[in-house]
Amino acid sequence: MPDIRVSEDLWSTGMLPEGILERWLVEDGARVRAGEAVATVRIGEALHDIISPTGGQLDVIAPASEIVDPGCIIAEIHA
């Protein structure tokens, strides 16, 4: 099952500000499509959409308002 991760590319190469899972754009258990924005993460002052790598049922692992690190898994996709 594919994981949905917070891309390490969202952080600059210098300081690593705290990342926060701002909100989920779809509900836990919802069906999502490949390429669909499923969550929003705030890193410093910037908001970033997190995109599903594949289609299927979303299984949320990290709740909204949780602190996130580069590369961390926030959800899984089940066929």
- The percent of the chain in helix, strand and coil, each rounded to the nearest 5, is 5, 45, 50
Residues 6+ apart with CB under 8 A from 45: none
- What radius of gyration, in Å, describes the C-alpha atoms of the chain? 12
- Reported pTM: 0.91
73: region left, alpha or beta (phi > 0 left; psi from -120 to 50 alpha): beta
- For residue 12, the model assigns a pLDDT of 74
**pLDDT in tens for each of the 79 residues of the chain?**
789 999 989 887 566 778 999 999 999 999 999 999 999 999 988 899 999 999 999 999 999 999 999 999 999 999 8
Domains of the chain: 3-78 (2.40.50.100)
